[in-house]
Copies of this chain bind each other. A is one copy, B any other.
């Protein structure tokens, strides 16, 4: 096998992009094996653009076609876990789009199936290819920050007008999307958080549902994270602010890091604040601190293409490790589900003993009451730079 033959399940916004990237040769170790979509218009659009690609109606048609070594699941959220499991049954390797699923109960089962299958399982956490976050993660792992005191991420540059929510019937509903800002816009950041800082131990959150737009899901969230080691976190997100902010601040023994607007600023103490404490005698003493601007690549990294390349490379035996193993998708989702659950119940959630069943029950209540959307204007959106 020289190239991995990729099946693309769902030719919507993301599926279209994946097909294009591979067809344009941006993923040299992959080729398109087959594509499916249940919508006839989407299939016709594909046939017109790429007459050479094998097109099917259903996922199972692709799974049993024998044309693919791996498949990428690019369907609506709820379908990710069942389709991943089905693909494993057919002996395929699988990449799932984010989120891993909508509720942890479902994703736990998917992870067990992945483990049993012995196949390669990845998730499209393309933000893990961003050099800014890779740099920060490596510095934390190397101990360059010392103890982390506080992490504050204000990530509100997700403005979504009513026209977005009305652009398809499944958008921004409990029944078909399973949430709002947390499940659609924030999975990357919630993953990056746990990838860089580890899982918070306790989560308390407030959320508003349909505060800024006519939707039933959350569009405004503030969450407190607590770690058993004393680190605190604040995660602030919204789809109702224009313009928004994307600012990550980390207070640590070695100083303060701010990542914003593509810049990585480290106000670095010459000695650790804890070491300074041992020698300081002045009531208003402060460790000497230097403002350091770290060199970072101008690009945001290889993004989706990087995840596809890495996946193929591991499958072909040319690289050891997946950058984004599928099993890790449950971590960001547990944070997301914990925020919902805390907002719904007013309780602080213990993420290590997350009540999977309780969450699913409360989500199911919302699914039952989910309103059928009116005024849907199906719009083919230009999604470039939005995922």
Chain A interface residues (CB < 8 Å from chain B):
149-150, 152, 154, 156, 159-164, 167, 204, 206, 208, 211-213, 220, 222, 224, 226, 230, 232, 234, 236, 238, 240-245, 249, 251, 255-256, 267, 269, 273, 276-277, 280-287, 289, 377, 379, 381-383, 386
Contact B232 A152 (CB under 8 A): no
Using A150-B236, A156-B251 as known contacts, say yes or no to A164 and B241 having CB atoms under 8 A apart: no
**Copies of the chain in the assembly:** 2
Contact A256 B244 (CB under 8 A): yes
Contact A245 B238 (CB under 8 A): no
Contact A163 B276 (CB under 8 A): no
Please measure, in the bound complex, the distance between the C-alpha atom of A255 and the C-alpha atom of B285, giving whole angstroms: 39
Contact B282 A163 (CB under 8 A): yes
Contact B208 A230 (CB under 8 A): yes
A-B pairs, 5 with minimum CB distance: A164-B283, A283-B381, A241-B251, A167-B283, A242-B273
User: How far is the CB of A322 from the nearest CB of chain B, in Å?
Assistant: 31
- Among residues of B, the one whose C-beta sits closest to the C-beta of A268 is B243
A241: B residues at CB distance < 8 A: 149-150, 251, 256, 273
A167: B residues at CB distance < 8 A: 283
In this complex, the member of A224, A241, A244, A284 whose beta carbon has the largest number of chain B beta carbons within 10 angstroms is A284
Contact A220 B232 (CB under 8 A): yes
In this complex, the member of A150, A242, A285, A381 whose beta carbon has the largest number of chain B beta carbons within 10 angstroms is A242
5 A-B residue pairs with Cβ-Cβ distance under 8 Å, sorted by A, are A160-B284, A161-B280, A161-B285, A162-B277, A243-B267
- Among residues of B, the one whose C-beta sits closest to the C-beta of A240 is B149
Contact B284 A383 (CB under 8 A): yes
User: How far is the CB of A187 from the nearest CB of chain B, in Å?
Assistant: 18
Contact B289 A161 (CB under 8 A): no
Contact B230 A211 (CB under 8 A): yes
User: How far is the CB of A229 from the nearest CB of chain B, in Å?
Assistant: 11
A242-B287, A243-B286 known; 15 new pairs, CB 8 Å cut-off, are: A152-B154, A160-B283, A161-B276, A163-B280, A204-B206, A220-B232, A234-B234, A238-B251, A241-B256, A242-B276, A242-B286, A243-B269, A244-B251, A245-B249, A245-B256
Please measure, in the bound complex, the distance between the C-alpha atom of A23 and the C-alpha atom of B386, giving whole angstroms: 62
- Among residues of B, the one whose C-beta sits closest to the C-beta of A255 is B243
- Among residues of B, the one whose C-beta sits closest to the C-beta of A167 is B283
Determine which of B156, B234, B283, B377 lies in contact with A379 in the assembled complex, contact meaning CB atoms within 8 Å.
B283
Using A150-B238, A232-B220, A232-B222 as known contacts, say yes or no to A277 and B161 having CB atoms under 8 A apart: yes
- Among residues of B, the one whose C-beta sits closest to the C-beta of A382 is B284
Contact A159 B286 (CB under 8 A): yes
User: How far is the CB of A380 from the nearest CB of chain B, in Å?
Assistant: 9
Contact A256 B243 (CB under 8 A): yes
Please measure, in the bound complex, the distance between the C-alpha atom of A204 and the C-alpha atom of B249, giving whole angstroms: 22
User: How far is the CB of A140 from the nearest CB of chain B, in Å?
Assistant: 17
Please measure, in the bound complex, the distance between the C-alpha atom of A122 and the C-alpha atom of B267, giving whole angstroms: 39
Please measure, in the bound complex, the distance between the C-alpha atom of A256 and the C-alpha atom of B213, giving whole angstroms: 19
A149: B residues at CB distance < 8 A: 212, 220, 238, 240-241
Contact B163 A285 (CB under 8 A): yes
User: How far is the CB of A159 from the nearest CB of chain B, in Å?
Assistant: 6
Please measure, in the bound complex, the distance between the C-alpha atom of A221 and the C-alpha atom of B224, giving whole angstroms: 11
User: How far is the CB of A126 from the nearest CB of chain B, in Å?
Assistant: 18
